[in-house]
């Protein structure tokens, strides 16, 4: 069973794909200008009965016309078996898609982050056949955001920072700055980020601090995406079994992500009574950059 902190720490990249640009700036690594980001299937299972799933997998189309794959793994502790899995992910993805592949590991403690950053060497000591260099984001290099203005400038990074620094002695100041920033932003967007924060903090004292902050000023944000963490990261409708609720969810997700919805498209979504079609549109709405992409014929 995947924990809520685990889900929140990597799924924030799914909900806000632009976060990777901030992440790579944090790492000081040049990155081509992206023109599109697509959520891809995380199932790397072979024909043999051996299942392998990367936490989040994004295809990033860049300005020069090329594409690359970004595999994101949320790692909560040292796990020797993971290092061989990461090498497999990169090799498998390159063999399957022929795109340049990048592995980003996100951690919530410095020791795990230092372990994850060690090169993975396969082959002879002096002449390895394969060397993988994971990129790592953790408490050692993710900025501590304690200023509300700074948090408001890049709310996804502020949420990611709060999750990453959930055990930091400054976590109260971090969460207070984030809460203030959310109060000043769109209520629907704030709802998503508030839920990510609560889930990402996990069973830490910081979670109680956040709940107190939500109770004093953010209570109306709660409940928007809680259902998405109850089934190992699958996005579910907030109103079960209701066609009208599914349509509302689609429109709300598009609004949160800043995707324009003309009146004609809005009417088509609200008028649709086919739950299976709405389910397809709902899944597309999570990553699509235009409403036409959501409503396209299969």
pLDDT at position 238: 38
Backbone phi and psi for residue 224, each to the nearest 5 degrees, phi listed first:
-70, -45
pLDDT at position 233: 44
pLDDT at position 219: 53
pLDDT at position 144: 94
Q: What is the pLDDT along the chain (298 residues), one digit of tens a residue?
A: 445 788 888 888 887 877 888 888 888 877 777 788 888 887 766 655 456 788 889 999 988 888 999 999 999 889 988 999 999 999 999 998 999 999 999 999 999 999 999 999 988 777 888 999 999 999 999 999 999 999 999 999 999 999 999 999 989 999 999 999 998 888 878 888 888 888 888 888 998 899 888 876 555 555 544 444 544 444 344 334 456 677 888 888 888 888 899 999 999 998 888 777 887 887 788 777 889 888 987 4
- Asked if 16 and 204 count as a contact pair (C-beta separation under 8 A), the reply is no
d(CA 142, CA 137): 6
pLDDT at position 225: 45
pLDDT at position 228: 46
pLDDT at position 237: 40
pLDDT at position 2: 44
pLDDT at position 48: 55
- Asked if 111 and 76 count as a contact pair (C-beta separation under 8 A), the reply is no
pLDDT at position 90: 94
d(CA 217, CA 288): 32
pLDDT at position 217: 57
The per-residue pLDDT of the chain, averaged, comes to 82
pLDDT at position 111: 94
């Amino acid at each position: 069973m995947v924990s809520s902190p685990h889900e929140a720490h990597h799924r924030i990249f799914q909900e806000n794909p632009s976060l990777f640009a901030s992440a790579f700036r944090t790492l000081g690594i040049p990155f081509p200008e992206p023109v599109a980001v697509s959520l891809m299937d995380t199932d790397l299972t072979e024909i043999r009965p051996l299942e392998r799933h990367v936490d989040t997998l994004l295809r990033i189309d860049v300005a020069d016309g090329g594409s690359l794959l970004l595999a994101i793994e949320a790692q909560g502790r040292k796990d020797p078996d993971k290092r061989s899995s990461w090498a497999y992910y990169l090799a498998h993805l390159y063999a399957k898609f022929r795109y340049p592949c990048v592995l980003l590991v996100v951690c919530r403690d410095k020791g795990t982050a230092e372990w994850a950053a060690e090169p993975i060497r396969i082959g002879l000591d002096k002449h390895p056949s394969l060397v993988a260099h994971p990129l790592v984001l953790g408490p050692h290099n993710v900025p501590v955001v304690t200023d509300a203005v700074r948090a408001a400038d890049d709310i996804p990074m502020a949420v990611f920072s709060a999750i990453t620094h959930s055990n930091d002695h400054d976590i109260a100041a971090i969460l207070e700055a984030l809460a203030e920033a959310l109060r000043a932003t769109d209520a629907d967007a704030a709802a998503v980020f508030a839920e990510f924060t609560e889930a990402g903090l996990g069973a830490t004292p910081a979670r109680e601090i956040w709940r107190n902050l939500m109770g004093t000023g953010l209570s109306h944000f709660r409940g928007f995406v809680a259902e998405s963490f109850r089934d190992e990261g699958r996005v579910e409708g907030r109103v079960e079994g209701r066609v009208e609720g599914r349509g509302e969810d689609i429109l709300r997700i598009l609004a949160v992500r800043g995707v324009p919805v003309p009146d004609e498209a809005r009417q088509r979504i609200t008028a649709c009574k086919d739950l299976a079609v709405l389910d397809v549109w709902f899944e597309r709405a999570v990553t699509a950059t235009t409403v036409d992409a959501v409503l396209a014929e299969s």
